[in-house]
Chain A
Amino acid sequence: MKYFNENNPTGEIYMSEIEAFYMPETIEEVQKLLREEGHTILGGGTNLSVSMPQNVKGLISLKKLRLNTIEECENSYKIGAQVVLSDIVKHQKLQVLWDGILCKAACNAGSSLNRNLITVGGNIVKVLYWSDLPPVLLLFEGNVIDDKNEKIPFETFFEKHPVSLQFGKERFVTFIELETPRNNTQYFWESFQKTKVDFAITTVCGALSLKENRIEEIKLSVGAISLLPRRLKKAEAMLQGKMIIDTVLMNAFDEEFKNFRLKYDYRVSKEYTLEITKNLFRKNIMQIKERDHEN
């Protein structure tokens, strides 16, 4: 909790629970600190400044580890856990790769002032239902890399949940690694919310390649409507190899969402959320089909 300091006439604000703040210079130092009870990694701090998780006594900043680089490798990009979302938004090559959906998703997070603080590591480890990067990362071939250089594929990372994989407790994210896209894959991302700075009501993402008017490969994911972002594997299986026709699409999404466990959202009814989600998928896939015809 944030408290007003009654002894200070300026009414200064502080987090009373925090007893220590560390800025280690090596990964080994972070690992040692993380093993101690009540210590947690500080990402951008935007969530912590609103509500501190219980029993947190010490914050560990990764600032001195220099995990704030975006590195272009032969067939991949390596993005540091401390890279802030505004740096992704402004990265000229990332604006183009994957049809720009990584940048679009990053740009959707909060305001520009927030995006200057929100880190990649924080956004994916916290994985709040409105987090913007996770649904997009589910579409990509790539991994989360931890402090011991172990690689965890994005799908495993989000399916199992970072916390149950001991992220933030026994290990921490150092980089994410994204394979560059194949030429014939087209991507889409769209988020629906009531205002620009509101949390998403639903986020739809997809990656598909077409061959002779049929879907050759398809990956779909959603965010914001369930507690964790997830792939839509039923719909993917139903659409694989099919021509893009309205009824085929709607059947696939009806089937996918028949027993889907939606998260409660006081802003909208479940029926409304589902209708919007299905239609956003339909609209975006149809647009890809039209673009493909034009080319």
Chain B
Amino acid sequence: MKIKLDVNDKLYSLEIAPGDFLSATLRSLGLKGVKIGCSRGNCGCCAVIVDKKAVNSCQVFTAQCAGSKIYTIESLGTIDNPHPIQKRFVEAGSAQCGFCNPGTLMAAKALLDENPKPTRKDISEALDGNLCRCTGYVKRIHAIFDAAKDIREGR
């Protein structure tokens, strides 16, 4: 089937199978920041933002996303100009293997877009679906808390 997909503010005309999942479609577009972990909606590595909500892209059929606005980690920042959340992740040492980072960062972005002044509990709850097996959970909460402050202060 033919579909138009709006990803990172770019419109793609695609030929997909009706049973394709968004995680696979995004990776086939070269957006390899979308990591496929469990493929069952448990780990959060493939999290992207669809219509302002962070979701596991392995649980969403691509066809469902026609007419939606999708954002992946590739939209967040660049090496030269990282997003405040990315900056704070680096400073806090909140990445070891880094496999979970794209999903975690997108879940954090969705949270800060909706709630610019989250508490540490809000952050912890918003990231409860993003598993990290090496760095742990404390540093990333500090990083997002500080990033929220940076964004509020326009830094």
Q: A: which residues have CB within 8 A of B?
A: 2, 5, 8, 10-21, 23, 42, 44-46, 49-50, 58-59, 61, 63, 84, 86, 110-114, 116-117, 196-197
Contacts and interface: CB of A to CB of B under 8 A. Distances in A.
Given A49-B58, A197-B129, A110 B41 contact: yes
Contacts of B54: 112-113, 116
Contacts of B47: 113
B64 A63 contact: yes
Point out which of B18, B23, B60 has the most chain A C-beta atoms below 10 A from its C-beta: B18
Interface of B: 1, 17-21, 23-25, 27-28, 36, 39-42, 44, 47, 53-56, 58-61, 63-64, 66-67, 107, 125-130
Interface of B is mostly: mixed
Interface of A is mostly: loop
Contacts of B23: 13
B18 A113 contact: no
A213 B28 CA distance: 65
Contacts of A20: 1, 18
B58 A59 contact: no
8 contacts: A8-B28, A18-B17, A21-B19, A45-B61, A50-B40, A63-B64, A117-B56, A196-B128
A15 B40 contact: no
A62 B131 CA distance: 31
Nearest to B46: A113
A21 B47 CA distance: 23
Given A14-B17, A61-B64, A112-B126, A21 B107 contact: no
A42 B64 contact: yes
